[in-house]
Chains A and B, each alone.
Chain A
């Protein structure tokens, strides 16, 4: 019974919080209290779940309504879902700390707390569910909440960004919905494992080929893979810092997780199933284009938010390499990269938010001087910067190393080579970002930055360092995840 509660807590806790925060919208102080408290409970529950999953031997599972599996919708405490839920909680805590100095009365009145909690619940739902249609519902909820958070200041740029985001996302949702419907029409079930079993070994018929392509298109758009990435640099940067940071950390990764779930667990591309084997080369192509085009895109930016937005996508490209390899270790590499990237991207956005606070400018030309005025910040900010650039001993180094190594082992060294080229571009871009923001003399005297912001970043930086120093741990989890996703013991 406590276990069953633990499994659904990552979704239910934020939902209760959201309902409460919604009713308390008019009283920002109370709403903030609800938001912070809920996040705390969520964090405790998520890490408890991770702990239980790590010590459990079997595969715990809950089917809502107590129906037999396959008939009701089930949540399972399987890898990598529980890991991602825990990382989500980490991001949520960091965002909650950061929000103290970033989200004020007006934004809370506009429903920040309820929206953020609803989004966290949706993200967790997507990480835990075993049901295709349920996955679609969580995507929609995350989208709606994201749109609300995106437009929270009602600035023209936010409205435009939201319109762009919404129109893309609705196309994606349609593609996903059609794909899910077709999978149901073909297999007669919406449960991912059951549908996967029904599809295994079956050569793709016309309908299945269409369905897999639709799912790829829709989920690739959500994950921000080229050429479906265009919405992301057009919208993310308009959000408030805390929000952009959570978006950058979680939303694209949620899309990528769904790609993993659908193509590995459902279509079995990494376990030799033919159901969608014809799409494997496409992943290689998409990954290569995404890495190069978006690393170059980042190089072309001087606005810090857009610079990072491009890096968000380029990182998803690295993850997609793991899928293109169509091997179990490739999947593990993707999972490792995903966890690293969630933490680092969120942290970077928090960092530029503080730079903006200090210098009053989002543009690199106006930033500077942080190393002298805020040495602690400069140090903490260096961690995600170096990690993204793939410098050891931070998490990004291992993530890149593993991706390159697995692509060599899978005989697709060219993907690894492209990863290295994109990595060089990333280093160049990160060096410019850090040196401009921290060394250069600022144009105007710097303002003070909130201590809470640095604290939130320090939390995430500590996680990055921990992964960097103990890569073994995450790699074990990643391999367990790959086993769980491919269904091989």
Chain B
């Protein structure tokens, strides 16, 4: 069977290419694929007759519970016959129907239909529920693509989207059900799920599982309240409607229900729900079928009604119901597909589909008319057609089951309406109203008349000689669904039974409907309220509401005000911390108060004062100065606490920030209007204080506990011994944790690219530098100062390994040198004295830093292991660390200069 699926799939991908090279005849050739499959199925009929076959399972993803297990039992077999048989006819029919379309589109249509066939086969053959789900979803997607085949029209797109929404909703419900079954049983085998139906029903997930399965089935089989997508899906090309939306796909819901009947029957409310929904569906559909004004939608509503009957039969208990269900399923597939073909022919040849404006077509479409008549008689349940037999079974099942008479009455009524509809759609377009006949566009062709005629004939032949089909398909199917063999006796004449009486009643009412169709139809159509309160409208309104709600929500959340965004982040962080400490029930432990040193205290408090002042001041310049003050005081604090490297870095960074931001402030207006109301400022302050308070206690608690760092101790021990450096901080940066530094160097390098790209004056050359007027004293000392700083930077770089300093600070100091130059003589002059483009420096620096780690790898050591050469007493000890540090130096220098020159140039424009 896996082979069957593979043939089907690859056939679907390749065979339709024929349609690209062939004209009308392509349909016949392509139909050989489904026909071949049909033959294959028929050839295994004798095995199915005896029991059920289980195909070998291929473990696909066993850990996920997914085995590609297929099985072919009677019920699946019936579906397979229908799917391949009708599939072949659909292909033939499409060959004639799509003559007006370009070849590429025709080929695409064939591909989709054949893929759909594959998916259908997969669904009904699947034993593993996950496999079932996969194919089930595939049918939904293919239905979406087929409904929207004519994607240009907005109605098609709307119908396709609606069909997808509803069926995908059902698919997700099925997914949920499958997940829950897997959770309860620990397996995804369908047989297992059916066998352990009681376990499922008794588990806490029983209710949800049944509800989800029912919803999945109702959406697929267009049961109330999900029925509305089906009439809209008639936007699909008619062959697709015939195939998907009447004969096969919509029956998948019935298939699922029938398979899971033991599961929902095990709950107290399962059967009642199914029957109630079926009855409502039948009534609604019958009413709408009478209101429908065009050919295809009348058929669509009658399909929904039929699906309702099938659902009802699944819901009823007793073997007769099962027999009736299986029989009706087949009969309906045959006659409804035929009717759709006829409808398609009418639309194809006249371009009209309104029932009121069609008439007299028997003269131009005689064979179609005959086929239509045959199918309609079957639909109306007139002996000796198959529909009659299945109707008998239907009434018998209802009489036999333990249910009330209400469903019976509804069934009779609905059957009557179906008689009526069958009559109307046959008589009106073909036989009545000959005066309405208009010239037709296409005449009948073989590919268009053969399929409906064959189907109509099949309906007649089967009922006259039912033995073969009963033996190979119906009886095994019933046995498979019911769980044990049931005697199925199909014959046209059972004698005068209550069922026959009921049939007679139904037909009589039906005849009355045919007679008075026009007044009933116009009367019903005039009731607009039916449209206004239809589920379709509600669904659409719901969707519109959802989108409007989503818009509202998004506009509310994503309001565009950066301040409130950031407030959200800050408040969210504070809330998280509060939650965290609250739920952990942790209270801060406070450290021992140590001695207080006066000078550091003053320095630190000055820093805090600066920060505070920065929040209060209105002037941006004052704010910059206050922030700078804070930075410097922190630098001094570092200095006083044994961190000279930090202090040096902080000093230079702070100085450069002040220089760079000054350049920024020169460009933009200093005077700023207030951007926050006092209330906002107050709430900001409260949240900031909250967060700061939490951090305060957090860090106190951290400091209250002891601190042992094995790494810190190790670094202290090994720094000189193994890494040849006295300055442990620098050794950490260039050796122990050099990859951090490498990353950080890249941060700076990359930010330089950004600066260069954002600040470059594109398009026109910058005006030749007219040096900005600077104070002459600055101009005089500038050069000397710059040289001094440069020299200092090199010293800092060189001795960094042993004394405070290193590449970072060195680079920053060197950059300061050029900052001085550019302040004194203008940017252009400063850049000229650099003799290289800043970014080139950055690139070279990156290269140096990267390369410095490589030599060690040649010696078989990890990257960034530094190598040392002893100068033999004459030269100082040299290591690859200096290359690394030089790289850092160059990157920092180049990057800062890129910012500096760019900002100053931009600011002076």
Contacts and interface: CB of A to CB of B under 8 A. Distances in A.
B862 A472 contact: no
Chain B residues touching A, majority SS: helix
A119 B699 CA distance: 33
Nearest to A147: B754
A19 B555 CA distance: 43
A138 B61 contact: no
B550 interface: yes
A431 interface: yes
Interface string B136-165: 011011001000100110101100110011
B715 A71 contact: yes
B753 A299 contact: no
A72 B183 CA distance: 46
Contacts of A436: 157
B667 to A, nearest CB: 15
Interface stretch (A49-57, A207-215, A239-247): A207-215
Contacts of A206: 581, 586-589, 697-698, 701
B401 interface: no
A210 B694 contact: yes
Interface string A103-140: 00000001100110010011001000001011001101
Contacts of A213: 573, 576-577, 579-581
Contacts of A227: 568, 572
Contact of A22 (B708, B839, B856): B839
Interface string A16-28: 1011101101000
Interface in B536-561: 543, 546-547, 549-551, 553-555, 557-558, 560
B586 A205 contact: yes
Contacts of A175: 573
Interface in A180-196: 182, 184-186, 188-191
A167 B562 contact: yes
A110 B757 contact: yes
A209 B694 CA distance: 11
Interface string A430-458: 01100110111100000000000000000
Interface string B839-858: 11011101100100100110
B607 to A, nearest CB: 18
Interface stretch (B315-323, B632-640, B738-746): B738-746
Contacts of A371: 151
A34 to B, nearest CB: 11
Contact of B857 (A1, A131, A401): A1
Interface magnitude class on chain B: 35 or more
Nearest to A472: B61
B168 interface: yes
A366 to B, nearest CB: 15
Interface in A143-202: 144-145, 147-148, 151-152, 154, 163-164, 167-168, 171-172, 175, 178, 182, 184-186, 188-191
Contact of B553 (A72, A300, A389, A397): A300
B580 A212 contact: yes
B776 interface: no
Given A424-B169, A435-B157, A189 B711 contact: yes
Interface string A273-311: 000101101100000000001001101110000000000
Contact of B754 (A4, A68, A148, A435): A148
B165 A431 contact: yes
A416 interface: yes
Contacts of B483: none
A68 B718 CA distance: 11
A137 B740 CA distance: 6
Interface stretch (A82-90, A93-101, A351-359, A402-410): A402-410
Given A1-B860, A428-B165, A472-B62, A417 B176 contact: yes
Contacts of B21: none
The CB with the most chain B CB atoms within 10 A, among A65, A214, A282, is that of A65
Nearest to B183: A408
Interface string A61-92: 01111111011110000000000000000000
B754 A386 contact: no
Contact of A423 (B134, B172, B708, B840): B172
A125 B743 contact: yes
A233 B161 contact: no
A22 B710 contact: no
Contacts of A25: 753, 839
A19 B134 contact: no
B430 interface: no
A391 interface: yes
Interface in B230-261: none
A435 B586 contact: no
Q: How large is the interface on A (under 10, 10 to 19, 20 to 34, 35 or more residues)?
A: 35 or more
B572 A408 contact: no
Contacts of B710: 70-71, 188-189
B553 A18 contact: no
Contact of B160 (A20, A145, A401, A435): A435
B703 interface: yes
Contacts of B839: 22-23, 25
A416 B176 contact: yes
B276 interface: no
Nearest to A296: B550
Contacts of A441: 152
A137 B130 CA distance: 44
A296 B554 contact: yes
Contacts of A281: 583
B623 interface: no
A33 B204 CA distance: 62
B850 A282 contact: no
Given A5-B857, A65-B866, A73-B740, A188 B709 contact: yes
B176 A404 contact: yes
A65 B735 contact: yes
Among B140, B572, B714, the most chain A Cβ lie within 10 Å of the Cβ of B572
A475 interface: yes
Nearest to A8: B863
A217 B570 CA distance: 9
A115 B750 CA distance: 7
B148 to A, nearest CB: 6
Interface of A: 1, 4-5, 8, 12, 15-16, 18-20, 22-23, 25, 62-68, 70-73, 110-111, 114-115, 118, 121-122, 125, 131, 133-134, 137-138, 140-141, 144-145, 147-148, 151-152, 154, 163-164, 167-168, 171-172, 175, 178, 182, 184-186, 188-191, 203-214, 216-217, 221, 227-228, 230-231, 233-234, 276, 278-279, 281-282, 293, 296-297, 299-301, 371, 375, 386, 389-393, 397-398, 400-402, 404-405, 408-409, 413, 416-417, 420, 423-424, 427-428, 431-432, 435-436, 438-441, 470-472, 475-476, 479
The 6 A-B pairs with the shortest beta carbon distances in the complex, nearest first, are: A439-B151, A210-B698, A278-B583, A188-B709, A23-B843, A472-B61
10 contacts: A8-B863, A25-B839, A64-B738, A137-B743, A151-B758, A213-B577, A230-B569, A281-B583, A300-B555, A391-B138
Given A121-B746, A145-B750, 7 more contacts: A71-B714, A115-B754, A206-B698, A207-B699, A228-B568, A282-B576, A299-B550
